[in-house]
Structure 1
Amino acid sequence: MKIAVVSITKHGIGLAGQVVAALPGAQLFAPEKFRAEAEAAAPGAASCYAGKVGDQVPALFAAFDGIVCIVSLGAIVRLIAPHLKGKEVDPAVVVIDEAGKFAIPVLSGHLGGANQLAGHLASALGAQAVLTTASDARETIGVDILGRELGWTFVASHDEIVRCSAAMVNDEPVALVQEAGSADWWPGHANGRSGPLPANVQLFARLEAVDPAAFAAVLWISERTMPADYAARLAGRCVTYRPGAAA
């Protein structure tokens, strides 16, 4: 990820230097009046701007995959709100308080990687990651990031992701069918998982063993084309994962 680290106060810039050090290739952005502090905190990786920080947001959104802000949460919400387009394209945004106690994902927690970024920064800074997405808070399966660390891709519409995610976090019965790919996706799941699979998830080795009427959602890990009868019966409530060569 290309990461921008934004700080607007003299004291925050010192913490920003630690953040840059924890994220190879990250770039620090700070007001021009704090150029000396910024260059000392992040030698060779500091950029300074004139004017308001809000004026920098469009360029930051366009150029970076993630933005770490040492700015108040409320201020960041107001600054980024006019520039939001959608979870599939918005960058990850993480806020860290100036004391370095909390790392809070604000935008694109799953698809954009903000939750994972916050977890990494929390470890690096000795902070607490504050994860508010339901699947992370309850340590269940994040439907839209299942297998991401293994290079898997998914095939599903936005509505299918929403419906299957809701089934997962609301403890509705979910069938997880694994016909391909590495079997260690659970311990390697995004943000780390431990313990058994969620009680509402039932594992299957073949799709044909699943009774579609018995499940609110089906997560299908496979390289084959879904049989037409199952495609019709699972329409709108199935996410397909393709391990591919990465497996």
Structure 2
Amino acid sequence: MKIAVVSITKHGIALAGRVVAALPGAQLFAPEKFRAEAKAAAPGAANSYAGKVGEQVPALFAAFDGIVAIVSLGAVVRLIAPHLKGKEVDPAVVVVDEAGRFAIPVLSGHLGGANRLAGHLAAVLGAQAVLTTASDARETIGVDLLGRELGWTFEATHDELVRVSAAMVNDEPVALVQEAGSPDWWPNHANGRNGPLPANVTRFAKLEEVDVGRYAAVLWISERAMPASYAAQLAGRCVIYRP
């Protein structure tokens, strides 16, 4: 990820230097009046700007995959609100307080990687990552992220993703059928998972082993086409993954 680290105060810039050091290739952005402090905090990665920080947001959104803002949460919400387009395209935004106690994903926490970025910063700074995305907070399966780190793609409509995700986070019974692909997707999933699979998930080796009427949703990892006999039964409540 290309990361911009933004700070608008003298003390915040000192912390920003630690953040830049923890993120290879990150760039620090600070007001012109703190040019010297920024250069000292992030040698070779410091940028200063004239005018208001809000004027920098469009360029930062366009040029970076993620933004770490050492700015108050409320201010960041107001600054980025006019520029939001959608979770598929908006950059990850994480707010860190000046004391370095909390790393808070504000935007694109799930798909954009802000949750993972916050977790990394929390480890580096000795801070607490404040995750509010249900699948990450509860360390369950993020349906639209399963296998992404392994290059898998998925087939599902928006409505199917919503319905299956709801079944997952609401502890409804979910069948996970893996017929192909690496079995190591769980520790690599989203922000990484260390514990067992969620209790509401039952694993199967073949789709034909599943009594589909017993499950609210099905996650099917396979290289074959959906059998016609199952297509109608699983309509609206299945996500297909292609390794």
* TM-score range relative to shorter protein: over 0.9
Q: Deviations over 1:127-178 (max 9, x none)?
A: 1111111111111111111122222222222222111111000011111110
Q: Deviations over 1:153-204 (max 9, x none)?
A: 2222222211111100001111111011111212222223222211111111
- How far, CA to CA, are the matches of 2:67 and 2:229 in structure 1? 45
Structure 2 match to 1:93: 93
Q: Deviations over 1:19-73 (max 9, x none)?
A: 1111001111111111111111111111111111111111111111111100011
Runs of 4 or more off by more than 3 Å in structure 1? none
Structure 1 match to 2:24: 24
Secondary structure at 2:82 match in 1: helix
Q: For 2:123, give the aligned amino acid.
A: S
Structure 1 match to 2:13: 13
Q: For 1:182, give the aligned amino acid.
A: S
- How far, CA to CA, are the matches of 1:49 and 1:235 in structure 2? 53
Q: For 2:178, give the aligned amino acid.
A: Q
Query: Does residue 136 of structure 1 match 2:127?
Result: no
More off after superposition, 67-76 vs 134-143:
134-143
Q: Cα offset for 1:242?
A: 1.5
- How far, CA to CA, are the matches of 1:54 and 1:234 in structure 2? 47
Unaligned runs of 5+ in 1: none
Structure 2 match to 1:106: 106
Q: Deviations over 1:56-111 (max 9, x none)?
A: 11111111111110001111111111111111111111000000111111111111
- How far, CA to CA, are the matches of 1:232 and 1:59 in structure 2? 47
Q: TM-score, normalised by structure 1?
A: 0.95
Secondary structure at 2:185 match in 1: coil
Q: TM-score, normalised by structure 2?
A: 0.96
Structure 1 match to 2:154: 154
Alignment of 1:26-65 (within 5 A): 26-65=26-65
- How far, CA to CA, are the matches of 1:9 and 1:228 in structure 2? 61
- How far, CA to CA, are the matches of 2:178 and 2:52 in structure 1? 51
- How far, CA to CA, are the matches of 2:25 and 2:129 in structure 1? 22
Structure 1 match to 2:2: 2
More off after superposition, 83-92 vs 186-195:
186-195
Q: Cα offset for 1:233?
A: 2.0
Query: Does residue 236 of structure 1 match 2:224?
Result: no
More off after superposition, 189-198 vs 12-21:
189-198
Secondary structure at 2:231 match in 1: helix
Structure 1 match to 2:168: 168
Q: For 1:143, give the aligned amino acid.
A: V
Q: For 2:13, give the aligned amino acid.
A: I
**Percent identity of paired positions between Structure 1 and Structure 2:** 86
Secondary structure at 1:177 match in 2: strand
Secondary structure at 1:186 match in 2: helix
- How far, CA to CA, are the matches of 2:83 and 2:159 in structure 1? 23
Q: For 2:130, give the aligned amino acid.
A: V
Q: For 1:61, give the aligned amino acid.
A: F
What value does the CA root-mean-square deviation take over the aligned residues? Answer: 1.2
Q: For 2:208, give the aligned amino acid.
A: E
Q: Cα offset for 1:234?
A: 1.5
Q: For 1:41, give the aligned amino acid.
A: A
Structure 1 match to 2:216: 216
Q: For 2:222, give the aligned amino acid.
A: S
